[in-house]
Amino acid sequence: MSAVRQRQASPAAQQVKDQLLREAEEKEVAEGQKFIVPNFTVKQLLDAIPAHCFHRSALRSSLYVIQDFVLLGIFVYLAYQIDPFLAKFDLSTPAYWAARASLYFTYQVAAGLVGTGVWILGHECGHQAFSSSKRINNTVGFVLHSFVLVPYHAWRISHGRHHAATGHMTRDEVFVPKTRKELGYPEIKEEGEVLGINVSEFRQKELREALAESPIGILWGLFLHQVFGWPLYLFFNASGQLHYPKNTNHFTPSAIIFKPSHFWHIIASNLGLVAAISALAYWSYMRSFTEMMVIYGIPYLWVNHWLVMITFLQHTDPILPHYSASKWTFARGALATIDRNLLGPIGPYITHGICETHVAHHISSKIPHYNAWEATEALKNFLGPHYHKSDESMFTAFYRCYRDCIFVEDGQDVVFYKNASGMAQRVPVEEGGNISDSGIDMTESK
């Protein structure tokens, strides 16, 4: 009976590897399916970036904060003019409510995008990229993130851990792929399933039936992902490491993601949220809960939507690798992300290029966003095929990646997401041209 075992020290290990290599050659892996595992050093990546890109200016960064709050203030002012404006017209009741709903919806989407920009500037503070002063960075970041209901220090710490271990299967903090075993998917039956490039049609059908997810189910999953993904991550470590304790969250100083020295930072983050929520409660009491939700609450949900969508797509795609502890390096992890464009000119301007310059951000998170564009161009020229960029619509990519990034294999050194049929889009290849060792032995057991 065919079985799958994790790799063990064995004289036959090299023979198994050779067998897999021959098998891959026989199946004629297409050039477009090969992923050359990069071997850059951190110094090589940093040296490729012009030195002045690392310069941080508190004044210049502050101008972007002013820009965002001026825009937000204009949008809020216009929102308060919607009802007086519509009252000037003799509209039928259906026309009035349709126009009112359309205008408020437009405001909420626009305010949500600008609020996402505020969130991103707070994120930049957490990386100490806002200025050269740690005190300025943490003060501004605390205010900005409390404004959008983010526990600044708690998230700053866990996000720093993510940057320190991006693409690491057991140390990364968020959007960690589930393995075949963790997902409860059927065990491998065919040798072609190891690489995921030559799986029989019959076996693909078996795997799809095991998942049994329809397009409607995928859309429902996306809706839940967008509405509840961010709070579930903060409160319950959703999409984080499964081996963490069940009570892992961003509000308890004793959580595994924090050190004892972080105690007062976490308390301060919690107090920032208490202050912000108290202000919203006071607003609701003095004016109305409906007004607070229309002006702040629904735009806040849009901020959460953009945040989850953006970060998911930065690290989730069938062409992006994840690494075992034995293969991971900081440089490989930093390159295991992808640049995309958000809504044409809106992403570069309103969300400060967080989608368009994310590879550079992972190579050096202290580069301010206004310098990340030049850094990205320099890295693009230096990295060649090792630089990942997609011009696909982010909405199309979101559906595609959510649908196709289902699981990775257990025990492999370099893994790529496989879809519901068990098919992968990439096969890891070492620089010498050999298929990377899968770390799995296909043997016959009695």
Q: What is the pTM of this model?
A: 0.88
Please give the pLDDT value at position 5. Answer: 39
pLDDT value for 3: 39
For 206-240, the pLDDT digits (tens) are 898 888 777 788 888 888 888 888 999 999 998 88
pLDDT at 23: 54
Among 12-16, 23-27, 200-204, 354-358, the range of highest mean pLDDT: 354-358
Amino acid in position 441? D
Q: Tell me the pLDDT band of 434, cut-offs 50, 70 and 90.
A: low
Mean pLDDT across 269-282: 98
* Separation of alpha carbons 331 and 333, rounded Å: 5
Task: Report percent pLDDT > 90 for the chain.
Answer: 76
| pLDDT per residue as tens digits for the range 34-66 | 899 999 999 999 999 999 999 999 999 999 999
- β-strand pairing of 321-323 with 414-416: antiparallel
For the chain, what percentages of helix, strand and coil (3-state, to nearest 5) are there?
Answer: 60, 5, 35
Give the pLDDT mean for 417-432.
89
Mean pLDDT in residue range 87-110: 96
Q: With contact defined as beta carbons under 8 Å apart, do 372 and 357 qualify?
A: yes
CA distances from residue 137 to 133, 185, 362, 405 in whole angstroms, order as listed: 6, 45, 19, 36
Residue 18's pLDDT band, with cuts at 50, 70 and 90, is: low
Model confidence at 16: pLDDT above 60: no
440-444 and 2-6: which strand pairing? Answer: antiparallel
Name the pLDDT band for 30 (thresholds 50, 70, 90).
low
Which tens digit of pLDDT belongs to each residue from 365-380? 999 999 999 999 999 9
At position 297, the amino acid (one-letter code) is G
Whether the CB-CB separation of 115 and 303 falls below 8 Å is answered with yes
For the residues 270-291, what does the mean pLDDT come to?
98
DSSP string for 336-381: S--B--STTTHHHHHSTTTTTTHHHHHH-TTS-HHHHHHHHHHHHH
How sure is the predictor about 446, in pLDDT bands with cuts at 50, 70 and 90?
very low
Average pLDDT score over the chain = 90
CA–CA separation, 2 and 113 (whole Å): 53
Q: How confident is the model at residue 436 (pLDDT cuts 50, 70, 90)?
A: low
Distances (CA, A) of 143 to 122, 138, 267: 8, 9, 15
At CB < 8 A and 24+ separation, what contacts does 70-75 make? 71/114, 72/111, 72/114, 72/115, 72/118, 75/107, 75/110, 75/111, 75/114
- Round to whole Å and give the CA distance between 8 and 31: 31
pLDDT in tens, 324-344: 999 999 999 999 999 999 999
The single-letter DSSP state of residue 434 is P
Looking at residue 28, what is its pLDDT? Answer: 57
Would the pLDDT of 25 be above 90?
no
Q: Contact 27/424 with Cβ under 8 angstroms?
A: no
- Which of the four pLDDT bands, split at 50, 70 and 90, describes residue 9? very low
User: Can you tell me the mean pLDDT for 193-202?
Assistant: 89
pLDDT value, residue 337: 97
By percentage, how much of the chain surpasses pLDDT 70?
89
Looking at residue 14, its amino acid is Q
Is residue 357 over pLDDT 60? yes
Whether 125 has a pLDDT exceeding 80, the answer reads yes
Helix (H, G, I), strand (E, B) or coil at 430: coil
Bridge partners (DSSP) listed for residue 6: 440
Whole-number pLDDT of residue 432: 61
